[in-house]
């Protein structure tokens, strides 16, 4: 009852935020309006679909290698992809690897029952963190094989702190990232666990192998070294501004802010004062090579842009936590990020390998940058360690796929 009440209160809060102009909340509400009726009108066949659910864009990138492996091995297999967040659904609503892409209807019991009854999935794959109790309960009651992909658990999660293990009992199998997660589950009676690693390694490796090029970034570089900062927030950008204003000749800066709405882009431009700035979406404009800062004001470019970096900075470390550092590390150059990284296993691993560098403020950023710029050996060792770490941790997708195949579920 408490869970259902809190879910209803959350929905109410989202609707109020939408009314008062929150753009993301408005998309959340609009995306779900009439959705169940639309889903129920589709001819879903009889248990033909694999349902893959992701919280947002980051989790999609984590699940994407498995989706594409399934489609590669069995092109006729039908996929339903759902998202909780607009930042995932709006960006990937036209993803060609899925037959349908929808928002997940809010986790109310009636919604969950109607959704599962309509789709009748033969298998459900939840990516990393999603534990919607209403949906899991219905999947359990319909005997739908349900799996957690690239899961990661910590002792302070509510399952273990409050002995709230019911949602976990629904999963037929847990594919987890590390030994800590496996040990936690084992200690609470779950033996259906395998350490398969993180499918994000496979995804970033695939992107790096694609050898895609970005003509705008190449023209902007114009022979200079590039410092590329991705998924940045205002707190990151304050530190970056101090670096950009004092950087030596021969360096240029590419910034990809986490949000690309007009307000954030305007705010970002003002942060860099009188510097000559170019916008990625303006295309190959005259004078691009003379600009000092290139702002990537669109989604879907960053993971390829990191290819051109001499040094990368990954944002979020002054907010709730860093974004995907593997997207940069795969290219074999040093990566810098903020202090809130302790929940991310790859960040801790790479710090131990001296492949990445954590900062607490603008002075730290200047210090790390200057060291990497002047100490060739430090730079080369960090980059090599980054690349080696990513390569050594690929392979999770094949392990998970082979398990599902052996069970006749893909």
155/232 same-domain check: no
The C-alpha atoms of residue 234 and residue 25 are separated, in whole angstroms, by: 21
Question: Do residue 173 and residue 263 come from a single domain?
Answer: no
Q: Token pair 């131990």 is at which residue? A: 352
**Rounded distance, CA 103 to CA 116, Å?**
14
Residues 296 and 161 in one domain: no
Query: Containing domain of residue 103, as a range?
Result: 31-197+395-406
List the CATH number of the domain containing 89: 3.40.50.11720
Q: Is 276 found in the same domain as 360?
A: yes
Question: Exposed (0-12), middle (13-18) or buried (19+): which is 286, by Cβ within 10 Å?
Answer: exposed
Identify whether residues 262 and 167 lie together within a single domain. no
Does 141 share its domain with 72? yes
Q: Is residue 40 part of a domain?
A: yes
Same domain, yes or no, for 309 and 189? no
Nearest to 347 by CA among 377, 321, 371, 366: 321
Residue 93: inside a domain, yes or no? yes
Pair (265, 190) in one structural domain: no
Of 392, 214, 205, whose CA–CA distance to 294 is shortest?
214
Same domain, 104 and 234: no
Both 65 and 122 in one domain: the answer is yes
**Contacts by 28-31, CB closer than 8 A, 24 or more apart:** 28/85, 28/86, 28/103, 31/86, 31/89, 31/90, 31/103
Residue in 331, 276, 341, 326 with CA at minimum distance from that of residue 309: 331
- Please report where in the chains the tokens 């705008």 appear, as a residue: 216
Q: Is residue 291 domain-resident?
A: yes
Q: What is the pLDDT of residue 1?
A: 78
Cβ-proximal residues to 352 (8 Å cutoff; 6+ apart), any chain: none
Give the per-residue pLDDT at 252. Answer: 97
pLDDT of residue 286: 61
Q: Which residue has the tokens 């074999």?
A: 332
Same domain for 183 and 327, yes or no, is: no
Please report which residue ranges of 193-344 form alpha helices under DSSP H: 199-209, 215-221, 234-244, 262-271, 302-305, 326-329
Q: What is the pLDDT of residue 288?
A: 87
CATH at 256: 3.40.50.2000
* pLDDT of the residue at 60: 96
- pLDDT tens per residue across all 410 residues of the chain: 788 888 999 999 999 999 998 989 999 999 999 999 999 999 999 999 999 999 999 999 999 999 999 999 999 999 999 999 998 999 999 999 999 999 999 999 999 999 999 999 999 999 998 899 999 999 999 999 999 999 999 998 988 988 889 899 999 999 999 999 999 999 999 999 999 999 999 999 999 998 889 999 999 999 999 999 999 999 999 999 999 999 999 999 999 999 888 889 999 989 887 889 999 998 765 678 889 999 999 988 999 999 999 999 999 999 989 999 999 999 999 999 999 999 898 999 999 999 999 999 999 999 999 999 999 999 999 999 999 999 999 999 999 999 999 999 98
- Same-domain status, 113 and 233: no
Q: Which residues pair with 174 in a beta bridge?
A: 148, 193
| Residue 129 pLDDT | 85
Domain annotation covers residue 383? yes
Is the separation of the CB atoms in 359 and 337 below 8 Å? Answer: yes
Domain count of the fold of the chain? 2
> Is residue 4 one of the residues assigned to a domain?
no
């Amino acid at each position: 009852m408490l869970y259902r009440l809190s879910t209803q209160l959350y929905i109410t809060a989202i609707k109020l935020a939408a009314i008062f102009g929150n753009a993301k909340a408005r998309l959340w509400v609009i995306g779900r309006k009439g959705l169940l009726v639309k889903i129920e009108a589709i001819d879903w066949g009889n248990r033909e679909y694999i349902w893959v659910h992701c919280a947002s864009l980051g989790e999609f990138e984590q699940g994407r290698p498995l989706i594409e492996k399934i489609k590669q091995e069995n092109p006729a297999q039908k996929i339903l992809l759902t998202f909780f967040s607009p930042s995932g659904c709006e960006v990937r609503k036209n993803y060609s690897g899925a037959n349908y892409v929808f928002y997940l209807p809010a986790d109310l019991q009636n919604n969950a029952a109607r959704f599962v009854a309509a789709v009748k999935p033969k298998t459900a794959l939840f990516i990393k963190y999603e534990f919607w109790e209403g949906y899991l309960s219905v999947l359990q009651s319909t005997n739908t094989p349900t799996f957690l992909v690239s899961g990661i658990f910590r002792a302070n999660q509510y399952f273990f702190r409050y002995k709230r293990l019911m949602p976990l009992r629904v999963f037929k199998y847990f594919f987890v990232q590390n030994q800590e997660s496996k040990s936690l589950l084992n200690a609470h009676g779950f033996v259906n666990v395998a350490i398969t690693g993180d499918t994000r390694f496979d995804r970033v490796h695939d992107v790096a192998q694609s050898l895609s090029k970005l003509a705008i970034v190449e023209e902007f570089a114009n022979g200079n070294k590039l410092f590329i900062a991705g998924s940045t927030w205002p707190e990151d950008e304050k530190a970056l501004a101090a670096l950009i204003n004092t950087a030596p000749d021969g360096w240029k800066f590419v910034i990809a802010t986490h949000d690309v709405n007009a307000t954030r882009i305007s705010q970002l431009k003002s942060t860099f004062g009188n510097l000559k700035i170019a916008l990625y979406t303006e295309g190959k404009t005259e004078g691009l090579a003379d600009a000092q800062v290139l702002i990537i004001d669109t989604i879907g470019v960053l993971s390829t842009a990191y290819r051109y970096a001499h040094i990368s900075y990954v944002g979020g470390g002054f907010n709730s936590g860093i974004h995907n550092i593997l997207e940069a590390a795969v290219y074999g150059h040093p990566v810098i990020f903020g202090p809130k990284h302790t929940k991310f296993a790859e960040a801790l691993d790479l710090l131990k390998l001296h492949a990445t560098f954590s900062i607490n403020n603008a002075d730290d950023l200047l210090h790390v940058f200057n060291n990497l710029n002047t100490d060739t050996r430090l730079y080369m060792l960090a980059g090599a360690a980054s690349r080696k770490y990513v390569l050594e941790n690929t392979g999770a997708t094949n392990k998970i796929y082979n398990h599902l195949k052996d069970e006749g579920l893909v």
